[in-house]
Chain A
Amino acid sequence: MLPDNRSEATPYDDILPRVTRPARYLGGEWNAVRKDHRSVEVLFALAFPEIYEVGMSHLGSMILYHELNLRPDVACERVFCPWIDMEEEMRRRGLGLHALESGRPVAEFDIVGISLQYEMNYSNVLNLLDLAGLPLRADRRDAGHPLVLAGGPCAFNPEPLADYLDAVVLGEGEEVVHEVVDAFRRWKRAGKGRDALLRSLAEIPGVYVPSLYQVDYHPDGTVAEVSPKIAGVPPRVVRRALPRLDDRDYPTRPIVPYLETVHDRAMVEIFRGCTRGCRFCQAGIIYRPVRERPADRVQELARELVGATGHQEVSLASLSASDYSAIEEVARRLVDEGVGLGVGISLPSLRSDAFSVELAHQVQRVRKTGLTFAPEAGTQRLRDVINKQITSDDLRAAVESAFRNGWRTLKLYFMIGLPTEDYPDLDGIAELVREVEAAYRTVKRGGGPPLKLSVSVAPFVPKPHTPFQWEPQLLLEELRKRQEYLRRRIPRRVRLSWHDPELSFVEAVFARGDRRLARALEIAWEGGAKFDSWSEHFSYRRWMDAFAAAGHDPRWYANRERPREEVFPWDHLETGVSKDYLWQERRRAWKGELTADCRFAACPGCGVCDRLGLSPVTGHAAAGEGS
């Protein structure tokens, strides 16, 4: 039932005067969908294990919210983690987690769908289930509890969460979420037990039910085999992906938050997937192949979005905006249309080359925010190892073009601890920083306002389903040593920011973790772990204690080089890219051999097109050849 007084009160009315940013907990924003619960059959809570401002910036969640609410038989509502102060007040009063739209307790929903974007949100996943009043472990939940689903990039190795999740969706959710809801409805009508539901879900392509798989280990602790416990459950689960983006409706009426969110703008997804082939990058594997949205559609959607949201900025979202085949034309058309309305265009994720800078210059006619480049590594040798196809010349041209076009705020992203990295590669980062500074002096002839250069460095974290999934992460002591080495070589006038190596270490443990880590996760959560992606809330000590208490050696997970033939805990979960291809890529990495992008050259045979029955959809000449 829908409380009639929803617009006047929330379940948290007494608390709101006591917490920071109460607008996080209100709901009722423009375009939020509120349905009468008496008229629907399935209540779906879309849960994002982060705070509101982070979760509301996530395009994928908005897409699913739209997909689900299009159905007359479903009410889909949002759930986020309350911030620390709010949680304290809620727990003090014994108040559980409620969905934003109706204010109804999450525990009364039929399905709770959790978005897994980042390993360091896992403690928040447990906290969210607990705040909702649900038993953490899937085997303690029964037909009276919501079905707990998960999806998102971390779904490709959900093993550390296997004990807590009922089912996991691999890949793009637009279609499969409907199949899950349909199966749920049939089950609900049939009135059978929880087991029947899980079995029927396991039959849906792309749905993984962890409890229906048995994991056997070798005496050395590595996985021997992951196999279905019962007949009818597929031994391998293959990811779902849309053949074409325009096969599905786009959320042109997304919710407009009151609060300033991380990405406070309208978003048009211009393409999905990226085949540049950076060897450390998981996104470059799990969203293949590239599927572009036609240019005319992009323009139409941008127009509709501005009309329905009133946002003053439209962002063209993708993994690498400069790679969209019609990017110049689309950007120009949108900029022309937006001028006069005060609507600007933003292009996140640009390549580090002069072409991209010119493009950014075109779109930032009015506002000139900073530019960001991600060379990732300091030397050509190492950039070849990771297949980051950016040369020093590209970078120099990009930087010079930026300075000539009036930019003076620049951010550079690097990783340390990449496979084969050695101290000369760190010198290379320092050298590159000096070159950027010199280029600024040359362009400005020594005059002009000072350059604002910031450099951000993150330790490399090997991720599953990438060519570097066999690689060890550098030992923490060595990471710290390299960090210090680099720190001493970067001039003080440059703003240097570091991603916590301790945090990256724990991230590396869970990224390639197995089911046995569930215990450590639970112990850490019991010890107060939450918001671990916020370095001020992350406690290295707490995690180490938890690993010790659970009897795990975290270094075994993070710092061990895995042999070619090792069975990984995620091998039965397929992105469509073959393990052989990944191994071949790893070998090419060690030889410094580049692998071309299938959009611009022949298909190097990653296998995804065959496996998923798809082909790249782009306007580029070489595309569409398939594998």
Chain B
Amino acid sequence: MAKKGLARWISHLDLVRALERALRRARIPVALSRGHNPLPRVSFASALGLGATSEAEYFDVELSRRMPVSAFTVALASQLPEGLELLEAREVPATSPSLGARVNLAAYRVTLALSDSGAREAFRAAWTRARTAEGLVIPRHREGRVRFLDARPLVHSLAIAESPDGLELRLDLVLDPRGTVRPEEFVAFLAQEAGIDLPPDAIRVHRTGLFRQEGERRRLPWELY
């Protein structure tokens, strides 16, 4: 599913609810969880940060009754609100492990509005320093306490290119069940290291893919069977 335009301001929780409602409107027979409070069995691979767009929002929907993929696609696509677009659906065995457990890499395109060439150089230099000697230790503030996250093992790769009004980053981040670094968090950290002022609206994050990376091999979530 793609998340475009204004839908980027829909939080992950709200997105999940919107999808559940779209599935209900589409009369798709979604399996319900057992227990006192039966919930539709829908699960996302990885939550996208508020403000980011994406062309790679993968989710599993468990059905109580088998239906043709084409029927599913047609029914759901017509019920998705503006900005959410169903790109493709595929059938996977109900026994397969959860999506979250299958993917381990998220690819982003991050654009930074940086008109000043000095600032662009400083940003590049900050990355060169961070990836080498000085490390990449990001402070996290929560409830008045600071914790430090060593983000180096979580940044798989970063390529920086010039764009008409700033920089364009190709950023691949590791999704580790023990912790991940958010793209905007990583970029804000580098900007701070570089001593540049990057207001929140100068960063645009777009997710381009979710993968399972094993050695050199990179597969899409549904190529894993």
Contact = CB atoms under 8 A, between A and B. Distances in A.
B37 A258 contact: no
Contacts of A14: 201
Nearest to A10: B6
Contact of B24 (A8, A310, A366): A310
A7 interface: yes
Interface of B: 5-6, 9-11, 14-15, 17-18, 20-25, 27, 32, 36-40, 50-51, 79, 81-83, 199-201
Given A7-B83, A22-B9, A259 B14 contact: yes
Nearest to B32: A342
Given A7-B5, A26-B6, A310 B38 contact: no
Contact of A258 (B17, B39, B51): B17
A260 B83 CA distance: 19
B12 to A, nearest CB: 11
Contacts of B23: 310
A256 B50 CA distance: 20
A596 B87 CA distance: 62
B200 A18 contact: yes
Contacts of A306: 24
Interface in A328-359: 341-343
A602 B64 CA distance: 54
Instruction: Name the residue in A28, A29, A342, A366 with the highest tally of chain B Cβ atoms < 10 Å from its Cβ.
Output: A342
Interface of A: 7-10, 13-14, 16-18, 22-23, 26-30, 256, 258-260, 306-312, 341-343, 366-368
Nearest to A29: B81
Contacts of B22: 30, 310
Contacts of A29: 81
Contacts of A367: 36-37
Given A310-B21, A343-B24, 14 more contacts: A8-B6, A16-B9, A17-B199, A17-B201, A27-B6, A29-B81, A30-B21, A30-B81, A307-B25, A310-B20, A310-B23, A312-B20, A341-B24, A368-B36
B83 A256 contact: no
Contact of B6 (A7, A311, A343): A7
B25 to A, nearest CB: 4
Closest 3 CB pairs of A and B: A310-B21, A17-B200, A310-B24
A259 B39 CA distance: 18
A18 B51 CA distance: 10
Given A13-B201, A17-B201, A306-B24, A26 B38 contact: no
A143 B92 CA distance: 63
A227 B174 CA distance: 75
Contact of A312 (B15, B24, B79): B24
Given A7-B6, A13-B201, A260-B14, A28 B81 contact: yes
A8 B201 CA distance: 15
Contact of A28 (B83, B199, B201): B83
Contact of A366 (B15, B27, B36): B36
Given A7-B82, A10-B6, A307-B25, A258 B200 contact: no
A308 B201 CA distance: 35
15 contacts: A17-B200, A18-B200, A23-B14, A28-B81, A28-B82, A28-B83, A30-B21, A258-B14, A309-B21, A310-B22, A310-B23, A310-B24, A311-B21, A343-B24, A368-B36
Contact of B10 (A8, A23, A342): A23
Contacts of B5: 7-9
